[in-house]
Homo-oligomer: A and B are copies of this chain.
C-alpha cells in the first residue's frame, strides 16, 4: 500500500489525499508534526532529504516529494492531466504559480495566524505576505471570471493544487467575500466525485 507522510495542518499534504480520494487509492497515513523539527530528523530525511511533508512512498519503496510533483505522478493517464502539450504546460504554469506566488503568502499567513500565532519574528513580515496573498487571489479571480476551471475547461491537478490553500485562506484572515468567481469555483471543486474534506 502507499504510505503518505502527512500533516493535518498542511494544504500541501491535503492535495495528495484529494487526488488519491478521486482515484480511489487507499493510503496508509503517517501524521508528522511540522513545527517540532521531526521533519528534519534523520529518519525522515531518508524519505525526503529536503525535510518537508508531504512525501509519499510507493509500493516498491520509492519515495517521492513535492506535493505538485506527486499530483503529476498520480494524474498520469487520468482525466486530471490533459492530453494536449500546451494545456499540460498551462497546468504546470498554474502549479508553479501556486508554489511561488500563492503558497508562500496564503499558506504561510494561515500557518502563522491560525497555528503558530504571531511572534516577534513573523509579525513584521505579515503585511507584505498578506498583500502578496491578495495579489495572488486577484490573479485567480480574473482568470476564473472567464473560465470554470484553470485549464482546458475542466477539473485538473491545477485546480487541486490551488484549491488546497485557497479554500482555507479565511483561516489566515483573507476576506474571500471579495471574490465571487473564486467562490463559485471552490463550490465546483468541492462537488467533484470523490472529493474529501481537509479534515477527513
Contacts and interface: CB of A to CB of B under 8 A. Distances in A.
A197 interface: no
Interface of A: 49-50, 52, 58, 62, 64-70, 72-73, 76, 85-86, 88-90, 92-93, 95-97, 99-101, 103-104, 124-125, 139, 142-143
Q: Is the interface of A mostly helix, strand, loop or mixed?
A: helix
Contacts of A103: 100
B89 A70 contact: yes
Contacts of A85: 73, 76
B50 A101 contact: yes
Nearest to A88: B72
Contact of A86 (B62, B89, B90, B143): B62
A184 to B, nearest CB: 19
B90 A49 contact: no
Contacts of A139: 49-50
Contact of A49 (B52, B99, B124, B142): B142
Nearest to A60: B86
A66 B125 contact: no
